[in-house]
Amino acid sequence: MSTPRPLSDALIRFQIRAQNDPRRYGRRAGLWGGLTFLLAMGAGFLVGVGDPDRLPLILVVALFAALAVGLVVTIAVTAAASVRHGRVLPPDTDPADVRAARSVRRSGELSGRPTVDRIARIQADRTLENAVSSGLLAGLFLFAGGINVANAILQSLSGGLWWAPVVMLVGGLFMMVGATFVGPVHKRGLRRARAFVDAYDSGPG
């Protein structure tokens, strides 16, 4: 039996409900995302007002707020796309089965559990439909990493070495190194998704 994961299960249930009622949850996503962003920016402003040295803190808060908004918007957009293509999970789908289906899809082989395999088939379709070029992903990683590294160097030259440019430098280098791995990993994921689709479609029932 799968171990419950409260946060993961809550996100999965939110995704499933959004797929079954995209308009309602689209409005909720917009409202929640907007409030989160405004509250985070307001808190950052109050903390940093009158103190220019705290500007990096405001930027960090804004970044996390943007990530939170991006997560909610991504769920809403994915739900709308799922409805459009007719690939909606039933409202009573068990989050544990969704997690198991992800592992099955990544393996490229059937699990022998009809419910899990059916969910994995839907996930594989989404993966293949939304596939982007591996070269494009690697290029984006290199571009973002290069900007961070350049910005870190410029800040270090003008204001000395402190925590903000160090974080940007480490993050930029991490992204640039990651660019060498993201392409092959992405290709392998697509290849296994196709293999799973072929196995599912050629299997019994």
**Rounded distance between C-alpha atoms, residue 47 and residue 41, angstroms:** 10
| Listed residue (104, 20, 30) closest to 70, CA to CA | 30
User: What secondary structure letter does DSSP report for 2?
Assistant: P
pTM of the model: 0.61
> Is residue 169 over pLDDT 80?
yes
**Mean predicted confidence (pLDDT) in 99-123:** 91
pLDDT at position 154, please? 82
The residue extents of the domains of the chain are 1-88
Question: Among 95-99, 158-162, 190-194, where is mean pLDDT lowest?
Answer: 158-162
Radius of gyration of the CA atoms of the chain, in A: 21
Tokens representing 78?
């994915």
Stretch (H or E) spanning 144:
helix 134-159
Tens-digit pLDDT profile for residues 14-58: 778 777 776 666 666 666 666 766 666 666 666 555 555 655 666
Q: How confident is the model at residue 117 (pLDDT cuts 50, 70, 90)?
A: very high
